Amino acid sequence: MTNNSTFENQYFVVLKPEGEVLELSKLLQKKLSEQFDLYPEGIYPEIHITLDRIKENRLDEAVEIIDNVILKYTKIDIKVKDFDCYSFQENNFLVLNVEENKKLVEFSNELHSRLAEKNISTIENYEEWKFHISLASTVFTETKKDFKDEFTNICFRFDGIETPRECKAGVLEIWRPTLDEDIKCIKQFQL
């Protein structure tokens, strides 16, 4: 698959959950994809938590900032509990909400502040950013219209359902907006 034009000229800075959060997310993602034929080739977006988006032409500067910020941090606790639905730039998303905690917020805020200070981040209202794991979305699917018609029903089905899970996340990566595993990950960092 090729890059999604919605995020042209941008890379993603992502945190990768582990353990039972990853297992639950993969299971739900697969079931939703099969039910709504979201990813017909059976290639799913890798489970992740987007912390920021950066300008692709500022990659080297972003890497330098991330290298400096991560020195102060170890693995980050991740807790998920419930679901949410939203739309962004003609795409629909069903997400698993990630609860904010002190370390996650401190890390992401410091990272974003340093990236924004150098005009590298592409996220404008970061104070409104909500941490989440996308389970179903139309970003990389060709069935946007069909999914959009079913989107409201999916949201109602997940409304009020809680699935509390916890894990650690110790890997941060910079990704291209693609499902192609051979070119997606540009740089990996260990917390």
DSSP per-residue codes, 24-42: HHHHHHHHHHHHHTSSTTS
Please report which confidence band the pLDDT of residue 147 belongs to, taking 50, 70 and 90 as the band edges.
low
Q: What is the distance between the alpha carbons of residues 49 and 16, in angstroms, rounded to a whole number? A: 6
User: Does residue 138 register a pLDDT over 90?
Assistant: no
Helices (H) then strands (E): counts for the chain: 4, 7
Residue 130: which of 168, 90, 84 has the closest Cα?
A: 84
- The three-state secondary structure class of 7 is helix
Closest CA to 13 of 68, 66, 62, 51: 51
User: Across all residues in the chain, what is the average pLDDT?
Assistant: 89
pTM of the model: 0.91
DSSP H helices, 123-187, are 144-158
Q: What are phi and psi of 17, to 5 degrees?
A: -70, 160
Residue extents of the structural domains in the chain: 5-190
Asked if CATH classification 3.90.1140.10 holds for the domain at 5-190, the reply, yes or no, is: yes
pLDDT computed for residue 99 by the predictor: 97
Confidence check: pLDDT of 5 > 50 = no
Phi, psi of 34 (to 5 degrees): -65, -45
Q: What is the pLDDT of residues 47-60, one digit of tens each?
A: 999 999 999 999 99
pLDDT, tens digit, for every residue of 64-117? Answer: 999 999 999 999 999 999 999 987 767 788 999 999 999 999 999 999 999 999
Is 149's pLDDT higher than 70? no
Distance CA 181, CA 1 (A): 10
- Give, for 61, the enclosing helix (H) or strand (E): helix 59-70
Phi first, then psi, for residue 168 (nearest 5°) are -115, 155
| Residue 145 pLDDT greater than 60, yes or no | no
Predicted confidence (pLDDT) at residue 146 exceeds the cutoff of 70: no
What whole-number distance in Å separates Cα of residue 85 and Cα of residue 4? 20
For the cut 60, the answer to whether the pLDDT of residue 43 exceeds it is: yes
